[in-house]
Amino acid sequence: MGVYAQSVNGALQENLLGIIVNPMSGRDVRRVAARASTSTHYEKQQQVTRLVLAALHNGVTRIFLGDEPFRISSRAVEHLPQRASVDILKYPLTHTARDTETMADLMWAAGCRVFIVLGGDGTNRIIARRYPNACILPLSTGTNNVFPVSVEASIAGAAAGLIASRQLAIEETCVRCKQVHLHTDLPEVRQTDIALIDAVLLKDDELGSLLPYSADKLSTLVLTRAEPASVGLSPIGGYLDACGHRDDFGLLVECANQGSTQVSVPISPGLWQEVSIVDYQRIALNETISINGDGILALDGDRSISLGKSESAVLRVRRDGPWIIEPDLVMRMASAKGLLSSNS
């Protein structure tokens, strides 16, 4: 397929890619409270440079980056010969999660449907909640997240480029991610929300806390992915009944201090805790799970909802999130189709 594709009216349409960078990912309190690695601004800058070069080399014709206070994106491309193919979008900065939403809004309005997201579970959750029909490659910045992939930026950029340039069809190479859908009737909070990896009811915890979870405060976990080779809440389920990205079920785990089963997991990098399990079971897609208070509901680590004793929330795992680019699979398919070689 050529660099351009025909639009409906016959006009040439550019192959667009958005790269969304959360400058604060990999720099939170877990570096103090546990032993998580730190992702510096310079490291992110170098990642962005390699992403841009790889995507342009693999069929993308225009890349959108967002402005941010540390100039990670602008410094990543300022000396590139391909600088003319990159647009840096400007907008009023709030230094909050709203900046990520605005960045995505501007890229979507410009025609981007394929994104690389440099950030953790929380950053990707913002994009998924706002644009569930997007196609994203979630790229890890070295923290204890489950949703992003750890892959060299050159390969990530190449894979995203092959998808954004329509050399490989999204439906052929990607699957939609699972999400936990949450609904409450509480008037003071967002009444519908999502989590990409985990929703958990915490006992005796605090709204807005950024500290690692404490095992004795865990009550009910709903997991879209229970990955034994991960860090956080996901391995709690993963040590019991592994559940991956492509498995069409989730996992419900009930915790209590006097449970009959114990698992010792890295609940944050370098921080191992023993979790006591009362029961666990698989959740079918669209199955209804009711959670009763009191406690704090956390979505992908965001302790944002307080449930009183008489209050409840309804959760369902669905496969209706963004399409996910898996770099290894994309590169293998591109190789099989002869897209990575040419005859002299």
- 40 located within any domain: yes
**Which comes out higher in pLDDT, residue 187 or 258?**
258
- 293 located within any domain: yes
- 326 located within any domain: yes
Residues 140 and 11 in one domain: yes
Domain, as residue range, for 192? 179-318
Report the C-alpha gap between 197 and 179 in whole angstroms. Answer: 7
Q: Where are the alpha helices (DSSP H) in the chain?
A: 30-33, 41-57, 72-77, 98-109, 121-130, 153-164, 170-173, 234-238, 327-336
- 83 located within any domain: yes
Give residue-wise pLDDT tens across range 108-131. 999 999 999 999 998 999 999 999
Residues 153 and 15 in one domain: yes
Q: What is the pTM of this model?
A: 0.91
Give residue-wise pLDDT tens across range 129-173. 999 999 999 999 856 689 999 999 999 999 999 999 999 999 999
Domains held by the chain: number: 2
Residues 100 and 198 in one domain: no
> What residues does 64 pair with on adjacent strands?
18, 87
The CATH number of whichever domain residue 195 belongs to comes to 2.60.200.30
- 265 located within any domain: yes
The CATH number of whichever domain residue 132 belongs to comes to 3.40.50
Q: Is pLDDT at 29 greater than 60 in this prediction?
A: no
- 223 located within any domain: yes
Residues 287 and 188 in one domain: yes
Using alpha carbons, select from 151, 128, 121, 154 the residue that is nearest to residue 326. Answer: 151
Which is it for strands 179-183 and 312-318: parallel, antiparallel or unpaired? antiparallel
Residues 257 and 332 in one domain: no
> What residues does 201 pair with on adjacent strands?
220, 297
pLDDT at 1: 35
Residues 111 and 18 in one domain: yes
Residue 134 per-residue DSSP state: -
- 342 located within any domain: no
Residues 170 and 236 in one domain: no
Q: Would you say 159 and 187 are in contact if contact means Cβ atoms under 8 Å apart? A: no
Residues 197 and 250 in one domain: yes
Q: Is pLDDT at 33 greater than 80 in this prediction?
A: no
Report which residue type is found at 63: I
- Within 10 A of 99 (CB to CB), how many other CB atoms are there? 22
- Cα 211 to chain centroid, rounded: 20
Residues 165 and 34 in one domain: yes
Give residue-wise pLDDT tens across range 322-335. 999 999 999 999 99
Give residue-wise pLDDT tens across range 284-319. 999 999 999 899 999 999 998 999 998 999 999 999
Residues 195 and 164 in one domain: no
- 344 located within any domain: no
N residues, the chain: 344
